[in-house]
Structure 1
Amino acid sequence: METNEIVHNVLITGGSSGIGLGLAQRYLRAGYRVLVTGRNPQKLAAVSEALPGLETLVNDIADPQGREELAAHTRQVMPDLDVVISNAGIQRRVGIAVDHAPWTEVQNEIDILFAGPVHLSRLLVPQLLKRGRPSVYVNVTSGGAFQPQPFAPLYSAAKAAVHSYTVNLRHVLRATPCRVVEPIPPAVATQLAGPGPKNGADPDEFCDMVYPLLDGSHPTVGFGPTAHPDFTERLAAEHRAFQAASTRFDVPLYQADGTVTSTP
């Protein structure tokens, strides 16, 4: 993306490390105004110092009130929002048979991975639409959404749910200038699962490849195994099946002016 394009303002959740931070660096280098969120004030302070111009907000995407506060903050300080990248995530690597954690811990993972992206889209899509200019809404999912992972079963299930929701979000926004993009990372060597050894693709290589494709021209963006022809054909087959079934019922759609009407 070039700096003379119309998109100038970017919000990235979970932007203090990993993929979120990598994308923030690239948007900053391209001249965009970038706001990142995270739960750890020390990490946000460190990245803010390292990246002059980066704006930060301590925010917990697992908390409904936190999501409301993030939307209100964005409307106040970044009313000309053009890009939302819903990236915040955690991964509890606990098999089903031995997951004896308190339910509050389990619910927190569900809230970060699924409730957060769904709620945030409800809060921010109207802000993107009301200005009537091109915008992009990005939900970062995972290869685990398509191949259930026994070592992280709840993560896989939540990402599968986000994928399904993203397909429907793209559908209801198709008549608007807001494009919906789903990056589908394979394993990337970040601290998603917490401290410990990091395995997977190099984060910089992943972000270098993905970043130029977040302009809305590609509905899905894969890397490595999630860009393999077998995987992309699976996505294409899913899309054809969705297109065939999506008009079975009359579903309200967003219109270009931000209003909502029904399909014919």
Structure 2
Amino acid sequence: MNMSGNTILITGGTSGIGRALAERFHAAGNSVIIAGRRQALLDEVTAANPGMVGVAVDMNDFAAIDAMASAIMAAHPDLNILINNAGIMRMEDMTVRRDLSDAEETIVTNLLAPIRMANALVDHLSGRPDAAIVNVTSGLAFVPLVHTPTYNATKAAMHSYTLAQRAQLAGKVDVIELIPPAVQTDLTPGQATREGYLPLAAFIDEVMTLFAQQPTPNEIAVDRVGFLRRAEAEGRFDAAFAAVNG
């Protein structure tokens, strides 16, 4: 994956990891398009980064995803990189019968939407030079946090999906998995200042260094996430599970 000269679409690009990636890639000499639900936030980010483009879309509306993809391909035919970053994380209590709307929305946003996004763009990307799809998963795909069961499950599913996607698109589109640890963002209430979480700027610094390696690694996994990513392979899953959920 080249670090400059690309046209990149980033979903969930108005805050957190998505915005940080958008700004770093924009500063590195790429044309960046961010997609998000709220027009006001899109306007704020693009105003702060002249030349960046914002597109409003509800990632839970599959028809809207297809319409957005068609519009972007028409307006930006050089599009060659998709970063599937949009996601939500909700606490859930499974000990009693409950309203499953949070679980269902998490599945749609974190799993079905990126599958739909890639499907809408795969023919176009397959014909572009230096094409790539980056799927943002989580260290919790490998060692779950018990209070966010559906979030963990969607990220584990995206890890598995990415492996198959990479094999099927080999030679056409690079498929890269970005695996964050716990990062200081607004993904959950209070997380942006939570002690022990990796500061966003430090995370993005390391991520961009990993992206710049040639060839680009199949997995962009900062040092901090290795505790989770390698827990089972290194025979310490139970200890890691206890540490995450302690």
* TM-score, normalised by the number of residues in structure 2: 0.85
Aligned equivalents of 1:219, 1:230: Cα separation in 2? 14
Q: In structure 1, which of residues 39, 44, 68 is the aligned counterpart of residue 66 of structure 2?
A: 68
Cα offset, 1:125, TM superposition: 1.6
Deviation >4 Å, runs of 4+: none
Aligned equivalents of 1:218, 1:232: Cα separation in 2? 20
Percent identity of paired positions between Structure 1 and Structure 2:
34
C-alpha contact (below 8 Å) 1:182/1:220 kept by paired residues: yes
Cα offset, 1:108, TM superposition: 1.6
1:160 match: 156
Cα offset, 1:212, TM superposition: 3.6
1:148 match: 144
2:190 match: 196
C-alpha contact (below 8 Å) 1:62/1:111 kept by paired residues: yes
Gaps of 5+ in 2: 235-246
Cα offset, 1:21, TM superposition: 0.4
CA RMSD in angstroms, aligned pairs only = 2.2
Q: In structure 2, which of residues 21, 28, 34 is the aligned counterpart of residue 30 of structure 1?
A: 28
Q: In structure 2, which of residues 162, 175, 194 is the aligned counterpart of residue 180 of structure 1?
A: 175
* AA aligned opposite 1:211: M
C-alpha contact (below 8 Å) 2:178/2:220 kept by paired residues: yes
Aligned equivalents of 2:70, 2:187: Cα separation in 1? 27
Cα offset, 1:197, TM superposition: 4.3
Q: In structure 2, which of residues 55, 79, 82 is the aligned counterpart of residue 81 of structure 1?
A: 79
Cα offset, 1:97, TM superposition: 2.1
Aligned equivalents of 1:28, 1:59: Cα separation in 2? 21
1:110 match: 107
Gaps of 5+ in 1: 236-264
* AA aligned opposite 1:15: G
Secondary structure of the 2:103 match is: helix
Cα offset, 1:53, TM superposition: 1.2
* AA aligned opposite 1:190: T
C-alpha contact (below 8 Å) 1:221/1:227 kept by paired residues: no
Aligned equivalents of 2:208, 2:91: Cα separation in 1? 28
* AA aligned opposite 1:196: G
Q: In structure 1, which of residues 111, 116, 120 is the aligned counterpart of residue 117 of structure 2?
A: 120
2:43 match: 45
C-alpha contact (below 8 Å) 1:19/1:203 kept by paired residues: yes
Aligned equivalents of 1:197, 1:175: Cα separation in 2? 39
* TM-score, normalised by the number of residues in structure 1: 0.80
